[in-house]
Amino acid sequence: MKKYIVFLCVIATSNLFAQTQRIELNQNWTFKKEQDTKWLPAAVPGTVHTDLMQNKLIPDPFFGTNEKDVQWVENENWEYQTQFTATKEMLANQNIELVFKGLDTYAEIELNNQKIASTDNMFREWRYDVKKLLKEGDNILKIKFLSPYKTALPVFDKIPYALPADNDRGEKHTSVVTRKAPYQFGWDWGPRLLTSGIWKPVYLELSNTAKIRNVQIVQKSLTKEKAELEIRTTFESFDSKTIFLKVSYQPKDYVSIQDLRIMPLTLKKGIQTYISAVTINNPKLWWCNGLGDAQLYDITVYLTSTDHLTLDSLEEHIGLRTIEVVQEPDSVGKSFYFKVNGVPVFMKGANTIPFDNFLPRVTKDVYKNYIQQAAQSNINMLRVWGGGIYEDDEFYNQCDENGILVWQDFMFACSFYPGDTAFLNNVKAEAEQNIIRLRNHPSLALWCGNNEIDEAWHNWGYQAANKYSVKDSTEIWENYKALFHKLLPEVIAQNDSRFYWASSPQFGWGRPQSLKQGDSHYWGIWWGDSAFSTYKNKVGRFMSEYGFQAFPDKQTFKQYMPDFDRAFSSPTAQTHQKNWKGYPTIKKYMGWEYKIPEKLDDYIYTSQILQAYGIKTAIEAHRKAMPYCMGSLYWQFNDCWPVISWSGIDYTGRWKALQYFVKKAFASDLIVIDTTDKNTDIWIVSDKLQDEKATLTVRLMDFSGKTLYKKSTKINKKGNTSARYFTFNHKDIAFDPAQCVLQVELLDKKGVIADNVHYYRSPKDLKFTQPAIEKSIKVVADGFEIRLKAHTLVKNLYLFLPENVDFSDNYFDLLPNQERIIKCKNVTNINALEIQYLN
Ligand code: BMA
C-alpha cells in the first residue's frame, strides 16, 4: 500500500524535496484502431471497450444481444497515446521510473519514439528506467496493444496437442497460453469480452539517494503480552551514503505516532534488504467477522537523510493474529480447518468472481460496498476464485477492515497450461509480484494453486476425452506438476510463510474421498441433477464450492434485457444464460418443489426462492456437521454482468432471495430443524466462543395460526458447537402436514436471537389460503419502516421497489398474526412498493 502523491495534471515539480514522488500519467490520452487515422479521447485507467462505448462506437455489450456485435474488438490492434511535460527539476532526479501497475495484455511501449519494451502478462507490474529517454518539455508516451487473440495464435499453434479449456469460447482456446483473466475468454456465467488497455494506474516515479521497493512484515511471535515483528525493508539505493531507516507503528486511525524506531544505515549502491525488529506491547488481536474487532495497526517505514528529510516512505496496515490450516488424521480421514488465534473457526462464505468485465469500473467505493455487504451477510471468508484476477488492493484492504479472511487462488482455472521456460518464467514473475503485494494483509489466509484442474484431469475425463497418447498425457501432467507442485510452492516459500494448497478441490463431486479429507466442491446438485436433500448427505470436511442458479432481479431485466421472453428462446434470453443446461435445470428443480409459474416476473421470483431454499439446505447441513465439516463457501457471491447465474447479488447490486437467506444461515446462532417421518429434531449451531443460557421455543401451528403443539425449554447453549437440544415425536401430535408450519425461536434475556421455520411438505403441496396483508408505512430518520401483518400465513413475502434499496429482510415467511417491521433505506418513492408471495 504505497502512498501516492497524485497530481491531477502534470505539473512542474520542484526538486526541493528529495522525497520519492509519483506523478500520475492519467491525462490527455487518446486512442485509435491501428489502421485508423483519427485519434479519439480515452480514459486511463480504462479498457478499449469502455473507450469505444464512451465515443459511441460500440453499444453497451451488457445490453440485449450486443455481446456478439462487439466481438470484432478482440481481433484488432489498438494504439494509445499521451503527451506530458517534464520539467528541468523533474529531470534532475537521480532515478526516474515509468511504472505501469497493469497492462492488458500484449503491449508495445514507446517513449519519444523509442521502443522501451513489450509486455505479455496482465497480472504483472512493469517498471522501466526512463531517465535517459525523457526530455525537458513535451514527451510522448505511446502504447500499442496487440490483438489478445491473434497475438497468442502462433504460440498456441506450436503446442502439438489440445490443452483443455472448456470455458474458452474462442475458435482456438488461446486462453491457455495467455496470462490474462481467464473469465474474459467466456465462462458459464460470463460473456466473451477480451479487453485491451491500461487497466491500472501509470505514473512516473522520481527518487533520489534511495527508494523502498517493498516491505515484508513478519510476525515472529504473538502472546497476550507482546507481538514481536520483523520488518524486512527492501530498498534500492543510487548512492553510497549514510541514511536513516525509521519504522513507526500505531493502532490504525491513531493521530499521533506511538512509537518510532530510528536506525542509521550505510548504503551500498543497488538493491538491499534491511531487517529491523519491533515489539508491540499488549497487542490487540485481529479477529474475523463475528468473533471480535478486526484491529489493524499502521506500520510506516521511512528512509530519511541524516538531516531527517524523507527520501521515501511506505505504509502497511497489518493485523496481529495467528492462522493455521489444521489437517490431522482422525477416525474418518483427515480434518481440514482454520484455527484463528488458536481457536477453530467455521468458515462461512462464498466464492467471488471479478466484479465487472470492465475492471477499471470497479472503484474503491464498489469494493467497499460489496465487502461490507459480505460482512453484513455474516460472511467471514471469501475465495478469490482462480478464473478471475488477483484482486485490487482495495478488495484486501476492505477484507482486512471487515474481518473477512481470503482464500486466494492463483489465476488458473479449469484448463491446462504449457510448461515451456518462457511461460514458467512469466508465471514466476507474476506470482512473485502478487505474493509481495498481498502478503502483509491479515485477511489473506492461504494460497491455492488453481481451481479444479487436478480433479478435472483425474476424475472428469479430461484426460480420456482428449484421447492423448501416453507421451502427450505424461507431458501435460508433468507440466502441471512443474507449475503447481514445484514453481508456485517454491515462490511462496521464498516470499511468504503461508500455507499452500495445490488445487481446489482436493477431491470433488461427493466421491467417497471428497467427504473424508481436504476441501470439496460438491456439484451433484445442479450438474448431477440430485435433489436438494442430497446436500444433507454429501458433507465433506470443507465445502469450498456448491451452488444453484437463479434469475437476477426483475429490474435488472428491465434495464439490460427488456425483450427477454418467458420461453427463454429469444436471442437476449440465450445471450444472458451461459450454462448449456441452465434453463432446463432450473425448470426441473422448480417442478420438484414449486408450481411452475406462467408469467416471467413470477418465474424470476420463484427461481430466486428455489435457489435460496436449496443453498439454505446446504449451509444448514454443513454447519450442523461441525466440527466434522468446518467450512461452507457457496458458489457464487457476485456477478460480472447482468446474467442468470449462481450469484447471491446480481450485477446491479440487488440482492436475490439467496443473500437474505445466507445472512440468516450464517448468523452466529443458527437453528437447524431436521426431520424424519417419525421425529423432529432441533439443533443449534453456535459460533460464539462462550456458552450461553437461552430459551428454546417450539410451536407448530396451522396456516390460520391455531397452535397444535407448543413447548419451551431452558438450555445451556454450548459455544463453538453444534448439538441437538430438543426432539418431538410426530405420533403425539395431530397435524395435517400440508397445512402447518413449525416455528422455532431461541431467546435470551433481551429477546429473539435466532429463529427458523419448517414445513412438512414441498411448497407445491402446501394448501395456502389467500392472505389479507395489512401494511402501513412510517417515515423514520434514514428511510421508512414497513409494518406488515396477516391473519393467515404469507409464504416468502417479497417487497419490491424499482430502486435498488436496502431492506432489512425480504422473501421471509410472515407467520399468521405475526407483525414484522422491515426497515428500508435509500428510498425516494415508497409508493412504488409492490408485494409478492407464494400461492
Ligand atoms: C465451479 C466453478 C466455475 C463454474 C461453476 C459453475 O466449479 O469453479 O468454474 O463457473 O462451477 O459451473
Q: Could you give the dihedral angle defined by the CA atoms of residues 484, 488, 493 and 495, in that order, rounded to the nearest 10 degrees?
A: -160
- Check whether 15 has a pLDDT greater than 70: no
Place of cell 414497513: 786
Q: What is the pLDDT of residues 715-747, one digit of tens each?
A: 999 999 999 999 999 998 999 999 999 999 999
Q: Which of 455, 460, 545, 586 to mutate to test the pocket of ligand 1 (most atoms within 8 A of CB)?
A: 545
Distance 736 CA to ligand 1 centre (A): 41
Q: What percent of the chain has pLDDT over 90?
A: 90
Point out the ligand 1 atom lying closest to the alpha carbon of residue 646: 6
Distance 454 CA to ligand 1 centre (A): 14
Q: Which of 451, 635, 644 to mutate to test the pocket of ligand 1 (most atoms within 8 A of CB)?
A: 635
Distance of alpha carbon 270 from the chain centroid? 38
CB within 8 A of 467, min separation 6: which ones?
Answer: none
Distance 261 CA to ligand 1 centre (A): 49
Supply the residue whose CA is at minimum distance from atom 9 of ligand 1: 414
Q: What is the pLDDT of residues 663-708, one digit of tens each?
A: 999 999 999 999 999 999 999 999 999 999 999 999 999 999 999 9
Distance 774 CA to ligand 1 centre (A): 43
User: 282-316 burial, b for 16+ CB within 10 Å, e for fewer?
Assistant: ebebbbbbbbbebbbbbbbbbbbbeeebebbbbeb
Q: What is the pLDDT of residues 375-400, one digit of tens each?
A: 999 999 999 999 999 999 999 999 99
Phi and psi for 78 in degrees, rounded to 5? Answer: -125, 135
Distance 413 CA to ligand 1 centre (A): 9
Selected residue with higher pLDDT from 126 and 12? 126
Q: What is the pLDDT of residues 772-787, one digit of tens each?
A: 999 999 999 989 999 9
Supply the residue whose CA is at minimum distance from atom 10 of ligand 1: 188
Supply the residue whose CA is at minimum distance from atom 4 of ligand 1: 188
Distance 728 CA to ligand 1 centre (A): 40
Q: Which of 452, 514, 578 to mutate to test the pocket of ligand 1 (most atoms within 8 A of CB)?
A: 452
Distance 409 CA to ligand 1 centre (A): 14
CB within 8 A of 123, min separation 6: which ones?
Answer: 102, 179, 389, 390, 411, 430, 433, 434
Give the pLDDT band of residue 467 (cuts 50, 70, 90).
confident
Q: In this structure, are strands 114-120 and 106-111 parallel, antiparallel, or unpaired?
A: antiparallel
- Check whether 14 has a pLDDT greater than 60: no
Pocket of ligand 1 (CB under 6 A): 187-189, 387, 413-414, 451-452, 521, 545, 635
pTM for the complete prediction?
0.96
Distance CA 413, CA 168 (A): 11
- Check whether 459 has a pLDDT greater than 90: no
User: What is residue 254's predicted lDDT score, i.e. its pLDDT?
Assistant: 66
Give the pLDDT band of residue 711 (cuts 50, 70, 90).
very high
Distance CA 720, CA 297 (A): 28
Supply the residue whose CA is at minimum distance from atom 8 of ligand 1: 451
Give the pLDDT band of residue 258 (cuts 50, 70, 90).
low
User: What is residue 11's predicted lDDT score, i.e. its pLDDT?
Assistant: 31
Average pLDDT taken over every residue of the chain: 95
- Check whether 12 has a pLDDT greater than 80: no
Residue 273's Cβ-side half-sphere holds a number of Cα atoms within 13 Å equal to 9
Point out the ligand 1 atom lying closest to the alpha carbon of residue 636: 5
Distance 109 CA to ligand 1 centre (A): 36
User: What is residue 790's predicted lDDT score, i.e. its pLDDT?
Assistant: 97
Mean local confidence (pLDDT), 145-153: 98
Dihedral sign computed on CA atoms, order 370, 373, 374, 375: positive
User: What is residue 251's predicted lDDT score, i.e. its pLDDT?
Assistant: 79
Distance 568 CA to ligand 1 centre (A): 22
